[in-house]
Structure 1
Amino acid sequence: MSEMADQASSLLRTPSEPGGASGVFSDIARRSVPRWHFAMLNDTERNDALVTALGKAIPPGASVLDIGSGSGLLAMAAARAGAGRVITCEMNPLLAEVARQVVDAHGLSDVVTVIGKPSTRLEVGQDLEAPVDVLVSEIVDCGLIGEGLLPAVRHAREHLLSPDGIMLPSAARLHGRLVTSDAVLKLNQVTTAGGFDVSLMNALATRGHFPVRLDTWPHRFMSDAACVLEFDLVRDALTPGERVVSLPATADGEAHALAVWFELDMGGGITLCNSPENTSSHWMQGWVPLEKPIPVKAGETVSVRLRWSDFALSASA
């Protein structure tokens, strides 16, 4: 265990005192552990779907690698589903220690091992006895790839998963619609404030996608929904790239962005989706700003160049 994880273990068991060490630890934890973990763990639809998918897919006695421990939920679900051995990795040392304690509290430490490092640093023969039978990698953000799904799966598929291993999810699709919204545009763009021109701040605007819960902001869709990107996580190269997407416009006006959401294929007919209609999902939708607004006219087809890196989506005419 690392020195930081060792300190975390001690402080997690220490009652909080104002100004004391555990109080300082709590402040650090609040800064380093994203708040979305709480919304995620309270997302019943997500949790039930993943637990059910693991129960259907994991063969009795199988070895499992879970990328992104979080609270340890999926690792424990894999153990409960009949896995003989579960390795779960978490790059955040505070979360890794929490996961260890949660797993231990459930009496599953003999099956589940939590490793405090990213999956890309795991090695067979050191962290894993052999390539695993099942890979679980539910590390997705509003736009699918922002948490590093592509590089993590690329590496694990080559170095950590057996050639005939099972992958969850096995495929992912990204759907999108052209959208206009002055309200959301102002979340990432400025002109004047208090009578001063502050437009130079736009040099710091987000170029890639960011999360927006569409139903909380006035907006208008400018096209029908379409599948704009698709990944076969078992076979595709999963490298950065770009493609031209054709979207039939449904309204006249100016498109500001491509609103996107994902669909994960977890096998057995089970999918996870954060579409705008699924307002109960803790995942928001992805807002992919267009480099420049695109004038559109109903009935015409609009071509958008969608680019993806290992961690971000971007779009232009």
Structure 2
Amino acid sequence: MENIIQQHAILLKDKVRMEAYKKAIFSSVKEGDTVFDIGGGLGILSFLALKAGASHVHVVEVEPGTWTLLRLVAKHNGLAEKMTFHKGLSTKIRLKKRVDLIVSELFGNLCLNENLLPVLIDARKRLLKNGGSIIPSGMKVFFAPCENRDWEFTTTALHNLDGFDLLPDLPDIDVGTPSMIIKNADLLSEPRVFIDIDIIKARSETAANLVTFNVSRDGLLSGFASWFEARLTGKISFSTSPNDLTTHWKQGFLPLRTPQKVKAGQKIIFELEFSPDPSGLNSIMGYHFEVK
């Protein structure tokens, strides 16, 4: 339980995240509404919905330990009788009646890398009333090529630790997409919008695009920085941009295995796709880039 609490404490202490979601829920919930909370965690979004006037909340959580703790926390706060607890993936849940509001916080540090898009589209199609609302209602994802001295230092250290190479260059090793602080000074071009999604209108569960970056200065291309703007409602949003207050997401970083020197005036062609993962937990991500 201790690790679960520590993990969720990081999310709950994120003031940017929490204040935006609280405002969005209180501006969206009407007295007597029913709500579906996807990825309930310790229940805070469900509890806020009930406090805002919802009559009942269906909450789904896939992680067994978190699901158990969620029920205990709800009972401790006297709210369990107004909640139905579902264990597993939201895509497997069936409800007798559709709900007025769907609320979820499934953002990864690249926004879409935790299967957010297919999960919300599925819930909208099957579980939301006509005219119902979804939080978040949309998102805009940005990418930019960048230098990252912290990452370069980390990988250099792993390549030679007491004479051992702990980071072999094998194509099937996934180094992940770490969350790191990226500064504007690290960027090698102006950022570009990768995709802008309206959840109510979205049809495709795959997000893909090709963008071209114009390199603005000489530098070492370490990878691609990413951040997003989350539109929770029409008027309430937050951003993980380097220009805004730091969140627990920081900025996402898509590292290259081998950093590459680039010069001002060159172009970087960047192609990226997020597609649904059959396991339902994370998106399948593939990307390609070319420097010209």
For the pair 1:316 / 2:282, whether they are aligned, the reply is: no
* Identical residues among aligned pairs (%): 27
List alignment gaps of at least 5 residues for structure 1. Answer: 1-25
For the pair 1:131 / 2:98, whether they are aligned, the reply is: yes
SS of structure 1 residue aligned to 2:201: coil
Contact 1:140 1:146 in 2 (8 A): yes
For the pair 1:195 / 2:166, whether they are aligned, the reply is: no
Q: How does 1:212-291 map to 2 (within 5 A)?
A: 212-214=180-182, 220-290=186-256
1:205: Cα distance to partner? 3.8
1:214: Cα distance to partner? 3.0
| Cα pair distance change 1:229/1:195, threshold 3 Å | same
Q: Distance in 1 between matches of 2:155 and 2:261?
A: 20
1:100: Cα distance to partner? 1.7
SS of structure 2 residue aligned to 1:64: strand
For the pair 1:206 / 2:174, whether they are aligned, the reply is: yes
SS of structure 1 residue aligned to 2:233: coil
- Which residue of the partner structure matches residue 74 of structure 2? 103
Q: AA paired with 2:213?
A: L
List alignment gaps of at least 5 residues for structure 2. Answer: 277-282
Contact 1:209 1:312 in 2 (8 A): no
Q: AA paired with 1:231?
A: I
Contact 1:290 1:315 in 2 (8 A): no
Q: AA paired with 1:133?
A: D
Deviations 1:254-289 (A, max 9, x none): 312110011110114211221223354122211112
Q: How does 1:19-168 map to 2 (within 5 A)?
A: 26=1, 30=3, 33=4, 35-123=6-94, 128-168=95-135
Deviations 1:162-191 (A, max 9, x none): 233211111111112210124314546754
Contact 1:45 1:281 in 2 (8 A): yes
Deviations 1:1-53 (A, max 9, x none): xxxxxxxxxxxxxxxxxxxxxxxxx5xx53xx384311111112211110110
Q: Distance in 2 between matches of 1:292 and 1:230?
A: 30
Q: Return the index of the structure with the highest Cα Rg.
A: 1
Moved more, 290-299 or 237-246: 290-299
Tell me the TM-score normalised to structure 2 length: 0.85
Deviations 1:213-238 (A, max 9, x none): 336xx972101222122222112234
For the pair 1:171 / 2:138, whether they are aligned, the reply is: yes
Root-mean-square deviation (CA), in Å?
2.6
Tell me the TM-score normalised to structure 1 length: 0.79
| Cα pair distance change 1:241/1:42, threshold 3 Å | closer
1:198: Cα distance to partner? 5.0
Q: Distance in 2 between matches of 1:196 and 1:170?
A: 49
| Cα pair distance change 1:76/1:184, threshold 3 Å | same
Q: Distance in 2 between matches of 1:79 and 1:245?
A: 43
Q: Distance in 2 between matches of 1:68 and 1:122?
A: 12
Count of aligned residue pairs for this structure pair = 282
Which of 184, 187, 190 is the matching residue for 2:151? 184
